[in-house]
Amino acid sequence: MDATVVQNAMHGYVKEAIGASVLAAGGFMLKFPVKTFFNGVKDKWDAQVKVLSEIQEELAEQRTNHLSHIEVSSDAQVKLLEKAVTTLEAMHLDQRTLLGRLDK
């Protein structure tokens, strides 16, 4: 009877050993496709991060160019607005003078 108990116990351990070996072999075989998959995902992620960095740099350059353009053109706009105001003031004075002469 003791031999049967030992034999049954060994049979259980053999099943567990075979199961563990199959599981380990399966995990080892899946390691490479999974690793390849994650490497592919990482490569795509890095490519997207690079694209976003390039877009950010381009937007920063465009913003800088736009601000410098506004800075340069604002002086010209101020001069044109001053000229327009002067002209409108002269027109207003001329109209007031004209209306004053018509009232008399």
Q: What is the pLDDT of residues 45-58, one digit of tens each?
A: 999 999 999 999 99
In the prediction, which pLDDT does 101 show?
A: 64
What is the reported pTM?
0.46
Q: Give the C-alpha distances (Å, rounded to integers) separating 2 from 8, 37, 45, 76, 102.
A: 10, 52, 62, 107, 136
In the prediction, which pLDDT does 2 show?
A: 60
pLDDT band at residue 11 under the 50/70/90 scheme: low
Q: What is the pLDDT of residues 17-53, one digit of tens each?
A: 888 888 888 878 877 787 888 888 999 999 999 999 9
